[in-house]
Structure 1
Amino acid sequence: MSGPKVVRIVTREEILDICAGHLRRLEQAIARWEAQAQRLGQLSEQERAATHGRLQQLRQLIEADRLVDLQKQVPIEIEFLKDDLQQREQRAVQQVAQQRQLARRQRENAATLLGALQGKALSAEWLQQLQAIAEGQPVAAVESILAQGFAHLGAVAQEPGLSEAQQQLARRLQDDSAPQTLAQWRAAHEQKEPRLERIEQHIAQLLTLDDQASADPYLAALRLIDAETRAPQRNLLLDSLVLELAQATRDSQERRARLARLQALASEVASLCPAAAGAELSRAEQCSLANMAPVDELIARFSALIEAELQQRAALARRQAVLEGLAGLGYEVREGMATAWAKDGRVVLRKSATPGYGVEVGGNADNGRLQVRAVALSAQRDTRRDKDIETIWCGEFQRLQALLATQGDDLSIEKALAVGAVPLKEVLLDDAQQADREQAHQRT
């Protein structure tokens, strides 16, 4: 099949650009992983060193010319970092949730102790500390203060002058039949509310992964619920808050994903084509979880810039590779031909060994598909030579494939017609182009 051909070319430069893009995205993923894990207190120096060690090993794959391995392994590493960061975030959220649940239990226990010890002669300073715990104020040695209160419960039930209600409460808080530890007392009297646990989990996620402002409205709502004494109304408020917080955490996760996407794209644009997006890069730096308005617009803009830049680079590399390969086969390649090809969609090359004939290379190099064919440069010719020229071009095309392969480029045939299947295309060169060729021939 030696007639006109549709071919696809993938150059080594294009593959190297793809590998460089993989490494840029990995470096951005590592930077985000490192910054977030460090902020959450979930990163050790050994883990940091191991991650950068893996990055260095992947960089060395380029030097070892293992480009396919790099393209396979980098996405796996990026996905690993993403999953690992999610696990670290979940651990950090769980820690905050446990701290909030502990603080809630301590407040409830302090309030219970205050009720049980009401009217008992105790240290005013100690009672103030217990009151502060019940109100959620920061107090040192909370557990020690609660333990002291528990120690006083045994004497309360026997103390004269207490009301019947106080004596009943004291008896409920401490069973006289068997001494209890503070932990046993808590296990017997602390009531778990699944809805409150879910609420604290959602709030912890907002506080840990978003910001304080995103959690403030729900913290205020939770304080109102804690102050509500009517059970039906309290239940309705709890149900409503659970639903609102579930949606809020989903929205927060979506915003963080969009912001991370923008930051990754901005980093790539800054490496590839910063001059084309100076203003947009400045706007991207101003984006945050509190300022998401321009994010989607910038994501679309950066994605388009990256695609256009990579496409332009790949197209230029493809045109240059083909022209340099044809020059190596003896075809006349002049300066500016790659530009003319991009502008006109085709270029025609002559070869002194086959006067009156040449090769036309055309098509959109942006998508990697090209059309190549032998052409006649004059209508005044012996057409009986046309098949011979196509046969010669067949051998030259195979040599072109081999030559490009030695440079790491791949030129494959997608469609080809047989010799003589269609008449040889005639391409009449313009006068200026013809004069240039004649002068070059005379100099030769």
Structure 2
Amino acid sequence: MSGPKVVRIVTREEILTICEGHLRRLAQALANWQERAGRIGELEEGDLASTHARHERLRQLLRSNQFAELQKQVPIEIEFLDRDMVQKEERAVAKAAQKRRSQRQLRENAATLLRTLQSSKGPVKQSLLDALPAIAEGRAVADAEAILAEGFAALGQIDAAGSLTEAQRDLARSLQVERPSRWVAEEHTTREARFDRIDRHIAQLQTLHGAATAEPFLQRLAAIEQDPRVEQRNMLLDSLIVDIAKSTADYQARRDQLATLKSLALELETLLLEQTTDLPAQVAACLADPDPDLQQVAALTEHCVAAVQDELRRRAAFARRQVVLDGLASLGYEVREGMQTAWADAGRVVLRKTATPGYGVEVGGSAESGKLQVRAVSLSGTHDRGRDRDIETIWCGEFTRLRSLLADRGSALTIEKALAIGEVPLKVVAIDFDDDGRVSSERTKGSS
């Protein structure tokens, strides 16, 4: 069937552009993964080496023309890096939260031990009594756990000498555990649950977003801990939990939005080298701002997505038009300078061939969508239906050769709709061949 056709074309050039885009996003994902993992101390040399090796194999897919496999595997690898980064950050936050819990328990143990020793009647080393207040206040003290162990031993000696009251003896026994820093008294269970949540959020802010982001909450926490009113303190702790949870979520969303914009900025930098636009400069200024407006970030992200999509469509359309024109030129059709532009401007162009005078081929349609229309046309008003059928038959063979030619060059031309030879009259078009093949008028053969 070689009457008028609607065809879809996918060029090697646009496939390459898609694959190169995948690899750019992979490189950005790797850089982001490496920077974030290194910053939180979760990057191992073996892990990095194996990741680089995997990515080299993915780049090799492009060099070996395995485009479909590349488009399948690269998104999987990017998703893996994202998941792995989440796991690394969760580990780092968990470690930081556990460190805060251990430090708090150390302070509480020191305070309890100090009170018990001070109220006992037995002898206690002055150096121990001097060191315990510093530990209880959270100040850095060398060998703090060893000092607490010494204090527990002193309690044991006082107990053996019978210098403790029954209540002090019970408390001393509760403190005699294998890991003193992990002791938590029964009556503090509810309070510790609140602190565990606070520790988790503070650790997340400090680890992932910088120490300064947690400082206001640390100051509030310190003030709350000084409040002697238990019910009031618990209410304030609950309020702090709500506020710090919201702040943590806000910082996380902010980081994700900025990461997306940064990735798009790199895409723009690559794609818009020849374009005159101030969008990259606007994005750079926004990313350089230490406290960017998130509404501006969202707006710029939207503009960048649109700009990237427009540029990719423009490049794909150019490649499709060029591939078809080059293919028709290989079949002997006259391709003149300016036809690429004429097609883009007018939506179609007509090419003629010396071997078939009075006839030509019209190609048109939206190259941006990938759908094109192709058909044989008459360049004169002469009515010869037999000759018209012969031309359509010739074009049928040429179209088959065109598809084969494009396939050999890495492009694909598929038929979505086609009419049979002679099913509709040949269209008559008038063109100025001293120009660029633009159609100046048209009609269907047989019409007046």
Q: Same fold (TM over 0.5)?
A: yes
What's the secondary structure of 1:205's corresponding residue?
helix
Residue correspondence of structure 1 range 231-310 to structure 2 within 5 A: 231-274=230-273, 276=277, 277-287=279-289, 292=294, 294-310=296-312
Residue correspondence of structure 1 range 19-418 to structure 2 within 5 A: 19-118=19-118, 122-156=124-158, 167=165, 169-175=167-173, 180-181=176-177, 183=179, 187=183, 189=185, 191-192=188-189, 193-274=192-273, 276=277, 277-287=279-289, 292=294, 294-418=296-420
- Alignment partners' CA distance in 1, 2:180 and 2:287: 54
Deviation at 1:132, TM superposition (A): 1.3
What's the secondary structure of 2:357's corresponding residue?
coil
- Alignment partners' CA distance in 2, 1:406 and 1:255: 48
Question: How many positions carry a matched residue from both structures?
Answer: 430
- Alignment partners' CA distance in 2, 1:180 and 1:107: 16
- Alignment partners' CA distance in 2, 1:401 and 1:182: 79
- Alignment partners' CA distance in 2, 1:46 and 1:188: 39
Deviation at 1:310, TM superposition (A): 1.2
Q: Does the Cα contact within 8 Å between 2:342 and 2:437 map onto a contact in 1?
A: no
Q: 1:175 to 1:137 in 2, by over 3 A?
A: closer
Deviation at 1:289, TM superposition (A): 6.5
Provide Cα deviations, 1:212-248, integer angstroms capped at 9, x if missing partner: 2322232222223322222222222232222333322
Q: 1:55 to 1:110 in 2, by over 3 A?
A: same
Match of 1:419 among 418, 421, 428: 421
Q: Does the Cα contact within 8 Å between 1:153 and 1:173 map onto a contact in 2?
A: no
Deviation at 1:22, TM superposition (A): 0.5
Whichever residue aligns with residue 222 of structure 2, its letter is R
Whichever residue aligns with residue 259 of structure 1, its letter is L
Q: Does the Cα contact within 8 Å between 2:224 and 2:233 map onto a contact in 1?
A: yes
Larger deviation, residues 179-188 vs 48-57: 179-188
State the partner residue of 2:8.
8
Whichever residue aligns with residue 168 of structure 2, its letter is A
- Alignment partners' CA distance in 2, 1:92 and 1:401: 56
Deviation at 1:257, TM superposition (A): 1.4
Whichever residue aligns with residue 170 of structure 1, its letter is Q
- Alignment partners' CA distance in 1, 2:193 and 2:178: 23
- Alignment partners' CA distance in 2, 1:327 and 1:431: 15
Whichever residue aligns with residue 211 of structure 1, its letter is G
Whichever residue aligns with residue 335 of structure 2, its letter is V
Q: CA RMSD in A?
A: 2.6
Whichever residue aligns with residue 245 of structure 1, its letter is I
Deviation at 1:101, TM superposition (A): 0.3
- Alignment partners' CA distance in 1, 2:423 and 2:25: 48
What's the secondary structure of 2:244's corresponding residue?
helix
- Alignment partners' CA distance in 2, 1:290 and 1:391: 64
Q: Does the Cα contact within 8 Å between 1:7 and 1:369 map onto a contact in 2?
A: yes
Deviation at 1:287, TM superposition (A): 4.5
- Alignment partners' CA distance in 2, 1:303 and 1:181: 60
Q: Does the Cα contact within 8 Å between 1:356 and 1:381 map onto a contact in 2?
A: no
Larger deviation, residues 189-198 vs 406-415: 189-198
Provide Cα deviations, 1:337-361, integer angstroms capped at 9, x if missing partner: 1111111111100011111111110
Q: 1:143 to 1:268 in 2, by over 3 A?
A: same
- Alignment partners' CA distance in 2, 1:119 and 1:303: 70
Larger deviation, residues 19-28 vs 58-67: 58-67
Whichever residue aligns with residue 224 of structure 1, its letter is A
- Alignment partners' CA distance in 2, 1:428 and 1:185: 93
- Alignment partners' CA distance in 1, 2:271 and 2:346: 27
Whichever residue aligns with residue 395 of structure 1, its letter is G
- Alignment partners' CA distance in 1, 2:146 and 2:179: 13
- Alignment partners' CA distance in 1, 2:229 and 2:436: 97
Residue correspondence of structure 1 range 428-443 to structure 2 within 5 A: 428-430=430-432, 432-433=434-435
Calculate percent identity across the aligned residue pairs: 53
Q: 1:198 to 1:59 in 2, by over 3 A?
A: same
Normalised to the residue count of structure 1, the TM-score between the two structures is 0.90
What's the secondary structure of 2:351's corresponding residue?
strand
Q: 1:211 to 1:289 in 2, by over 3 A?
A: farther
Larger deviation, residues 99-108 vs 420-429: 420-429
- Alignment partners' CA distance in 1, 2:386 and 2:301: 59
- Alignment partners' CA distance in 1, 2:167 and 2:142: 27
State the partner residue of 1:439.
none
Whichever residue aligns with residue 400 of structure 2, its letter is Q
Q: Does the Cα contact within 8 Å between 2:5 and 2:419 map onto a contact in 1?
A: yes
- Alignment partners' CA distance in 1, 2:233 and 2:257: 36
Deviation at 1:209, TM superposition (A): 0.9
What's the secondary structure of 2:430's corresponding residue?
coil
Deviation at 1:434, TM superposition (A): 9.5
